[in-house]
Amino acid sequence: MLTVINNFLSASELAHFRQTLDGANWRDGALSAGQLAAPLKTNLQVDDTSTEARSLVTSLSARLSQHPLFISAALPDKIYPPKFNCYQNGGHYGQHIDSAIMRCADGNNLRSDLSATVFLSQAQDYEGGELCVEIGGCLQEIKLDAGDMILYPANCLHEVKPVPKGQRLAAFFWVQSLIRSHQHRQQLFELDQSIQALTLKLGSGDEEVRRLSALYHNLLREWAYA
């Protein structure tokens, strides 16, 4: 399931991110890639230990913890601290799959159930740079406006097409979900969105709304950590 979250960052938040990244310390992105992926990766990444990176990670993490659509779609248990990259001058990332288990700076492991990209450059400001995700036997090409997010299963082959002109800035991170099964997570997401819509139409006191809400929480209880 691909989930697009439009306007995840507001215009003011986006301006803050862009201004901070302008003064950031960038380095070769291949340094953070695994042995197999490193030869496929040509981009720049912000030094994770820099003041700029730490500040933006704090801001983005706070936004994630408060965004209802992200929480509904991801049902996050753990979030790998976001990173920030830049593609330019033909930079690209060839087809690859993300590591299943990631080691966090605090020494804990995270199972990568979902991958996420938050676009920080306007789509018209650069050529190429599409995020191509192979899901369900179909190749999906994603190029969103600045401030939009794409959330997709981390077990999918994906790549970033070359950027011959302009600059593609983005934040990216991984999520360990409370629900490991992609199918179960999608079903819970669809059920939750229906409950939200019916609540607006009928009110939270409606009997059928209460019944569906109970079903949602019982399924969540059954499937969490399974």
Which residue positions form the known binding site?
A: 96, 98, 158, 168
Average confidence (pLDDT) over 122-144? 96
Burial of residue 30 (number of CB atoms within 10 Å: 0-12, 13-18, 19+): middle
- Going by C-alpha positions, the residue among 149, 83, 151 that lies closest to residue 113 is 151
What are the percentages of helix, strand and coil residues in the chain, rounded to 5? 35, 30, 30
Give the pLDDT score at 172.
98
Mean of per-residue pLDDT scores for the chain: 95
Q: Are residues 26 and 80 in the same domain?
A: yes
CATH code, domain carrying 215 = 4.10.860
Q: Are residues 211 and 151 in the same domain?
A: no
| DSSP-derived 3-state class of residue 132 | strand
Q: Which domain holds residue 196?
A: 182-223
Cβ atoms of 111 and 178 closer than 8 Å: no
Q: Are residues 144 and 192 in the same domain?
A: no
Per-residue pLDDT of 150-199, as tens digits, reads 999 999 999 999 999 999 999 999 999 999 999 999 999 999 999 999 99
The whole-model pTM stands at 0.95
Q: 């042995």: which residue's tokens?
A: 35
Q: Are residues 216 and 136 in the same domain?
A: no
Which residue positions form the known binding site for Fe cation?
A: 96, 98, 158
Per-residue pLDDT of 87-117, as tens digits, reads 999 999 999 999 999 998 888 999 999 999 9
Cβ atoms of 186 and 104 closer than 8 Å: no
Per-residue pLDDT of 13-62, as tens digits, reads 999 999 999 999 999 988 877 777 778 899 999 999 999 999 999 999 99
Which residue positions form the known binding site for 2-oxoglutarate?
A: 168
Q: Are residues 156 and 189 in the same domain?
A: no
Q: How far is CA 214 from CA 2, 72, 177, 218, in A?
A: 26, 16, 21, 6
Give the pLDDT score at 39.
86
Q: Are residues 143 and 53 in the same domain?
A: yes
Reply yes or no on whether the pLDDT at 63 is more than 80.
yes
Terminal CA-to-CA distance of the chain, rounded, Å?
Answer: 19
Q: Are residues 166 and 190 in the same domain?
A: no
138 DSSP β-pair partners:
135
